[in-house]
Amino acid sequence: MSEKKKAGVLEGFKAFLLRGNVIDLAVAVVIGAAFTQIVNSVVKGVVNPLVGAFGTKDLESYSSCLKGPCVTDPKTGEATEGIRILWGSVLSATLSFLITAAVVYFLMVLPMAKYLARRAAMQAAKEGMQETLEVSELEVLKEIRDALVSQRGGPTEEIAGTDSGGTPGADSGGGREDR
């Protein structure tokens, strides 16, 4: 591979790595991995004991036998006879997912949505205030124009800088000659 191609590939790779969405994704994966440990701790430390109050402490041990009597080898823990359905592990994973979704929603999504809504409302109020200021400035300028026109003794409908015929720059005093 030539040096020019190698430099182009390295530049492209560098640009790929430094794009914002790649870095955001990497941060999300790291935080997600750490968050998974928290959720698993909550499930094992809180949910499983609560479920254990009604049955066994370990949700993973809940199972049913689909076909015939289920016989488990005590050494390996695998079923030697029958077909075992491990619905406890599915229930545990479902509870983990629901807890994760609830924590993410209530601790991250909902506060961020409220923050963004508050920020949008502040921005809208700021734009409304700016529009009010612009309208107020226009009204003041119109009042100044009207006051100047009335001081000159002209009609208030007349726009400053035009004569009664509507021709801009025309001088009614005759001080300018056409050549």
What is the torsional sign of CA 58, 60, 66, 70? negative
CB 45 within 8 A of CB 94: no
Q: Is 179 helix (H, G, I), strand (E, B) or coil?
A: coil
Q: Is 147 helix (H, G, I), strand (E, B) or coil?
A: helix
Is the pTM above the cut of 0.75?
Answer: no
Paired tokens of 157: 């409908």
pLDDT (tens digit per residue) in 48-75: 677 777 766 667 777 788 777 777 777 7
Band of residue 33 on the pLDDT scale cut at 50, 70, 90 = confident
Average pLDDT over residues 7-32: 80
Per the model's pLDDT, the better-predicted residue between 137 and 157 turns out to be 137
Cα separation, 55 vs 6, in Å, equals: 63
pLDDT (tens digit per residue) in 121-131: 888 888 877 77
Please name the residue ranges forming H helices in the chain.
3-18, 20-42, 48-52, 87-104, 110-152
Paired tokens of 68: 């015939």
